[in-house]
Amino acid sequence: MKILPLFLALISPALAGEPNQLSPEEKAAGFKLLFDGKTSEGWRGYKKDGFPEGWKVENGALTVTKGGGNLITKDQLKDFEFRFEFKISENGNSGIMWRVAETDGAPYMTGPEYQILDGHGKTGYANEIAKGNVSGAFYDFVPSKVEWCKPAAEWNEGSIKVQGTKVTLTVNGHVSAEVDTASDDWKQKLAKSKFASWPRFAREPQGFLCLQEHGDTVSFRSMRVKVLE
């Protein structure tokens, strides 16, 4: 794993100013906001036309508690870099999936997941924590580290970069996963995983970003994306 000492400063508008804004560097690089901190424009429910009632725009964040369902972008993405901030509740669980299709029962049947989980929690998801499925993990494939994650109810920085078959995940300035889904290593891991029988999992050439509702309170803000050529 790698540590990028300048990465956090480069990607975090929250450290330099107000959240839900692009830095001058991001504007020049072609990033666009996916959430303005005030409206739900650009988002809808998974397999739904409208914005689900369980999600709320409050205090400059998109927040969901139990029963809100999964939220997806209105537009699909192929190759991209997605930067964001997230805050998970104590003992909470959530995630972000990419290249999600609306063809199967649940979004995780097509889209791999950037795990969001309170690794500092004492009473929830002990099995997931033991496997390294804490915030920043490529869920069930590449573990992250608890010490890279801030405690519950604090804002964390993350990013997902997808270009062709290559995926890079970060959490709070740490590169938590580097995966090539065309590699033999990935194919071997997939064949041994619970996803092996799902024919479309991690095989979609493009799809939606999906914010997961897992029954626990989670908030997202400062979501911005750059489409990669």
- Res 11 pLDDT > 60: no
Where does the pLDDT of residue 17 fall: very low under 50, low under 70, confident under 90, or very high at 90 and above? low
Where does the pLDDT of residue 214 fall: very low under 50, low under 70, confident under 90, or very high at 90 and above? very high
pLDDT value of residue 124: 84
pLDDT value of residue 8: 43
Helix or strand run (H / E) with residue 15 = helix 13-16
CA distance 37 to 60: 4
Give the residue among 139, 44, 135 at the shortest CA–CA distance from 87. 135
* Domains of the chain, start order: 2-227 (2.60.120.560)
CA distance 73 to 49: 11
Q: What percent of the chain has a predicted confidence (pLDDT) above 90?
A: 89
Match 């369902």 to its residue by tokens: 69
pLDDT value of residue 36: 96
Q: What is the dihedral angle through the alpha carbons of 139, 142, 147, 152, rounded to the nearest 10 degrees?
A: -10
Asked whether 138 and 150 are in contact (CB, 8 A), the reply is no
- Res 136 pLDDT > 70: yes
Where does the pLDDT of residue 123 fall: very low under 50, low under 70, confident under 90, or very high at 90 and above? confident
Mean pLDDT of 150-177: 98
| 176-198 pLDDT tens trace | 999 999 999 999 999 999 999 99
